[in-house]
Amino acid sequence: MKNLLVIIGVIALVAGSAGKSLQAQIINGAYQRQDIFQRKPLALPSVREADVFWSKKIWRIIDVREKINQPLYFPTKEMDGRINLISLLLQGIESGQITAYDARNDDDFKLPITYSEVKERFGAKDQTVQVQDFDTGEMVERTMPGEIRTNEVKQYMLKEEWYFNKNNSTLNVRIIGICPIQLFVREDDPSGQIQRRQVFWVYYPEVRELLTTNEVFNPHNDARKMSFDDLFIKRYFNSYIVKESNRFDSRGIFQYLQGKQAMLESKRIENKIFNFEQDLWEY
């Protein structure tokens, strides 16, 4: 009888461990996707100052309402381990993995700000409200934490530098920083006019490790998921130029041109960079 009980106990243990192993192997798909979490940022070639004989700083806008840029905006909530760009940046700032810089003064990454200050930039301030206490029935004051409305981030500004390297005779670009732009309507504005607010800057070389280990949706092939770093480095986005380095206190295009003329000026600057490289060669 004792031997029978021992055998039954052993069978129960084996069955339990087998059930746990089967449960641990449950994956959401045909195979385990873990390559993205083991990636490291692709090392960029070093550039000597002596090899650069031409460069130009450019500021451009990525509008995530454009179809090609939608992988930066969706998913609006976590799905299959993926989150959108603004949620990823906020998580990195809150955990201390990356640093946010004040966007109100300049884009030289000189003034770091905390996560609570980032919330204030979003307008997500704590509010004191009157609620009814269920035990006493009396009205009491409660502090409601402010909520960051990530769905209002509809644009991103990139600061980048284009340069020609005479060592290998190539025109290259390096992204320097990313700035989320919030589009919102003030509650006290009866006109309903949309306001634009640059929330914070992040230094791109610092955030590359975070961007490399997080997936962005590839609309053409689920088996070839790319990271946010791949998207930016390989230029899988559409954008338009809003400013170039200049003598006039670094003024933007929309400070001296509007509407169609501003867009034509943006295109002119882009063509100027393209033609600079082409004009160096003879065919």
User: Residue 224: what pLDDT?
Assistant: 82
- The single-letter code of the amino acid at 269 is I
Residue whose token pair is 């451009």:
60
Q: For the purposes of burial, counting CB atoms within 10 Å of the CB of 48, is it exposed (0-12), middle (13-18) or buried (19 or more)? A: exposed
Locate 84 and state its tokens. Answer: 């959108």
User: Residue 22: what pLDDT?
Assistant: 43
Residue 12 in domain: no
Residues 6+ apart with CB under 8 A from 266: 240, 241, 242, 253
Structural Rg of the chain based on CA atoms:
26
Cβ count within 10 A of residue 57? 16
Residue 37 in domain: no
> In the chain, which residues have pLDDT < 50?
18, 20-22
User: Residue 4: what pLDDT?
Assistant: 57
Q: At residue 164, what are phi and psi to the nearest 5 degrees?
A: -105, 125
**129 within 8 A of 140, measured Cβ to Cβ:** no
Question: Alpha-carbon dihedral of residues 231, 217, 224, 24, nearest 10 degrees?
Answer: 130
| 240 beta partners | 61
User: Residue 20: what pLDDT?
Assistant: 47
Residue 33 in domain: no
Which domain does 247 fall in, by range?
Answer: 51-278
* Number of structural domains in the chain: 1
pTM given for the model: 0.84
Residue 9 in domain: no
Residue 5 in domain: no
Locate 130 and state its tokens. Answer: 């009157």
Residue 40 in domain: no
User: Residue 231: what pLDDT?
Assistant: 96
Residue 92 in domain: yes
User: Residue 21: what pLDDT?
Assistant: 47
Residue 56 in domain: yes
